[in-house]
Amino acid sequence: MKHSLAGAREKPMLDVVGQGSKEAEMGALLYHSALHAERLRQGMFETGGFPLTSPPKPVSGTLNGKPFQSLTDADPRIGARLELFAAGQYTWIPFEHIESMRMLPPKRLRDMLWAPAIVRTAESFRGMELGEVIVPAIAPLTWRHADGAVRLGRVTQWQPLDDDSEAPIGQKLFLVDDEEFPILELRELTIASPLLSVAD
């Protein structure tokens, strides 16, 4: 089965990119790793083999300096979690376990596909500090879409899921207080403590 991000052409392209400065070589190594993580990601969404975890808690905080009361991935299968690539692996981290996240505007074409980010985890995260990671900027399985602008993440459309909900395809979106927010417009995200339920 052909994946737009995981085929025979990508590795030679990265090999060429890596022939030059040390910075270029490091970039090639980084994105070899990202290709592996992207294959894992695409495979998971193709098979529907999603992690069996407890529903994440809602969070509040500030996004680009503006306060918000709710934040989720626009894809309901992901929910209030962040997709990221770290050390060649693909993982979801609930927003409740994230303290902050920073992203710069895209500088290279590859940043429109895989965006570098600095993620600081909260004390509730039982794991090592993440630091610099890669955040996928294109929704899963976008490569299947017939429209080239969608495949490149220049626009976002919506597609129905089997449970009658909808998921975006094209550039990834967050839902911030139920409003669509393109992931590549994120500059600084700060997460406050998880919201308390009424029962609390």
pLDDT tens, N- to C-terminus, the chain (200 residues): 444 444 444 444 444 444 555 655 556 667 788 898 999 999 999 998 888 778 889 999 999 999 999 999 999 999 999 999 998 899 999 999 999 999 999 998 889 999 999 999 988 776 667 889 999 999 999 999 999 999 999 999 999 998 889 999 999 999 999 999 999 999 999 999 654 443 44
At 10 the pLDDT is: 45
At 65 the pLDDT is: 97
At 6 the pLDDT is: 43
At 28 the pLDDT is: 65
Bridge pairing between strands 98-102 and 81-86: unpaired
Sign (positive/negative) of CA torsion 33, 92, 172, 118?
negative
Kindly list the distances between the CA atom of residue 84 and the CA atoms of 5, 15, 58, in Å, as whole numbers in the listed order.
16, 23, 19
**152 Rama sector, left if φ>0, alpha if ψ -120 to 50, beta otherwise:** alpha
The strand pairing partners of 132, in sequence order, are 118
At 1 the pLDDT is: 44
At 8 the pLDDT is: 40
At 25 the pLDDT is: 57
At 104 the pLDDT is: 94
